[in-house]
Amino acid sequence: MKRWLKLAAVAVVLAVVAVPMLQRQQEAAGSTASDFIAKLVKDAQQTEREFGIPASVTIGMAALETGWGRSSMTGQVTADGVVYDVNTLFNIKCTSTVSPFQTGCVPIRTAEYRSDGTKYYIVDEFRTYASWLDSTRDFARLLTTLTRYAPAFQYVDYPDQFVTEVRKGGYATDPKYSELVISIMRSHNLYQYNLRGQGPGYPEGMDPNGPTPPVTTVDPYTMFPQLLVGSRGDTVRSLQRLLNTLEAGIGVDGIYGSQTTAAVSAFQRAQKLTVTGKVDDATWQALLPELASGAKGEGVRVLQTHLQLKGGSVAITGSFDAATDKALRAFQQLHRIEGSGHSSYATWARLLG
């Protein structure tokens, strides 16, 4: 009897201790969310003024992406012994096109997965910012400049539908992404921060779940990297190689200088495109070859180079062989592009971007 009484007494003590501990954990979680919202709300509202994206959407998506600001990428990161002020809320990768809002790039080692499930590591570079405000502005710039997200801006008065359209545009592959963001917006009443009082709910007749297409639609008119004087890297090098197949006769150094500008202008003139000397979507589409099994030449080498850069197991031979076909289909499957086995515009866009 005494033993049972002692056990009961211990249980009571543990229960008494556990309740305040649970309360403290809940309060800490609530405090983290409250602090994050308080820190971000003015920037989200400023972004709404400039770009029209409801503040509740910016805060909700940033909360999900960063774990309420717990991600180290929201502040300083040390890489290769160098301290970077990253200040990113959306982890946008660096490309050949430099955003007017970024301060630079930070190299981050990340895990990728092949189609067979095996893991490998690559070093990706992510945009860095002077502040969270510039991060939200760059996020807004992404949504407003890619036409696959254009349908979302028909629903700036309906934040829930706005998020649904962003997800349908291919922002996230998780079909539950919009539900998670909307849950955050509702549980923390983020709608109260919208400048025009937009609340929860959907337009009449809209499906709140929003059908998820089996394949992400990639709009080739908006997904290609934009290249101009000062751009550098592998994509510029590939551009130079492709121009040389048309007897441009320029150096292949990965630097977009005066020679490359002149060659691009000449190509645009020959194709009856607007002559800007910059590589835009229309220029990419006129220049890029559509390749399939059996193709040979420099275009195939460029394709194999970028498949290899993305982690594909393929040799650079200039011949579209079975290994190239396998690597291409694996890349298309990984990026939810229709597995056609040929280098469609959507495939090129993801490879070059």
Tokens for 242, please give them. Answer: 């492709």
> Looking at residue 230, what is its pLDDT?
86
Rounded Cα gap, residues 277 and 230, in angstroms:
12
Determine the average pLDDT of the residues in 166-180.
86
Residues 287 and 241 sit within 8 Å (Cβ to Cβ)? no
Q: What is the pLDDT of residues 254-308, one digit of tens each?
A: 999 999 999 999 999 999 989 999 998 889 988 988 888 899 999 999 999 999 8
We report the CATH number of the domain holding residue 129 as 1.10.530.10
In this structure, the answer to whether residues 138 and 231 fall within a common structural domain is no
Whether the predicted pLDDT of 220 surpasses 70: no
In this structure, the answer to whether residues 92 and 195 fall within a common structural domain is yes
> Please, which residues bridge with residue 110 across strands?
122
Q: What is the number of domains present in the chain? A: 2
Higher pLDDT, 32 or 10: 32
With cut-offs at 50, 70 and 90, classify the pLDDT of residue 218: very low
In this structure, the answer to whether residues 121 and 182 fall within a common structural domain is yes
CA angle 103, 104, 108 (to 5 degrees): 135
With cut-offs at 50, 70 and 90, classify the pLDDT of residue 207: low
State the CB neighbour count (10 A cutoff) for residue 91.
Answer: 18
SS (H, E, C) 3-37: HHHHHHHHHHHHHHHHHHHHHHHHHHHHHHHHHHH
> Looking at residue 22, what is its pLDDT?
42
Interacting residues of 162 by C-beta distance below 8 A, sequence separation 6+: 53, 54, 57, 152, 153, 155, 156
Mark which of 157, 192, 213 sits at the end of a domain: 213
Determine the average pLDDT of the residues in 153-164.
92
In this structure, the answer to whether residues 69 and 183 fall within a common structural domain is yes
> Looking at residue 348, what is its pLDDT?
86
In this structure, the answer to whether residues 12 and 131 fall within a common structural domain is yes
In this structure, the answer to whether residues 198 and 138 fall within a common structural domain is yes
In this structure, the answer to whether residues 267 and 245 fall within a common structural domain is yes
Higher pLDDT, 1 or 63: 63
With cut-offs at 50, 70 and 90, classify the pLDDT of residue 243: very high
In this structure, the answer to whether residues 75 and 11 fall within a common structural domain is yes
With cut-offs at 50, 70 and 90, classify the pLDDT of residue 332: confident
With cut-offs at 50, 70 and 90, classify the pLDDT of residue 238: very high
Mark which of 190, 213, 236 sits at the end of a domain: 213
Whether the predicted pLDDT of 27 surpasses 60: no
Backbone torsion region of residue 117, taken as left when φ is above 0, otherwise alpha when ψ lies between -120 and 50, otherwise beta: left
We report the CATH number of the domain holding residue 316 as 1.10.101.10
> Looking at residue 221, what is its pLDDT?
34
Mark which of 194, 213, 232 sits at the end of a domain: 213
In this structure, the answer to whether residues 135 and 8 fall within a common structural domain is yes
The helix/strand/coil state of 341 is: coil
What is the DSSP code string of 220-276? Answer: HHHHSPPB-TT-BSHHHHHHHHHHHTTT-----SSB--HHHHHHHHHHHHHTT----
**Main-chain dihedrals φ then ψ at residue 262, nearest 5 degrees:** -65, -40
In this structure, the answer to whether residues 226 and 323 fall within a common structural domain is yes
In this structure, the answer to whether residues 259 and 196 fall within a common structural domain is no
Sign, CA torsion 215/216/217/218: negative
> Looking at residue 241, what is its pLDDT?
94
> Looking at residue 214, what is its pLDDT?
37
Q: What percent of the chain has pLDDT over 70?
A: 83
pLDDT, mean over the chain: 83
Domain enclosing residue 271, as ranges: 220-352
In this structure, the answer to whether residues 142 and 197 fall within a common structural domain is yes
Burial class of 272 by CB neighbour count within 10 A (0 to 12, 13 to 18, 19+): exposed
With cut-offs at 50, 70 and 90, classify the pLDDT of residue 40: very high
Place of tokens 């751009």: 231
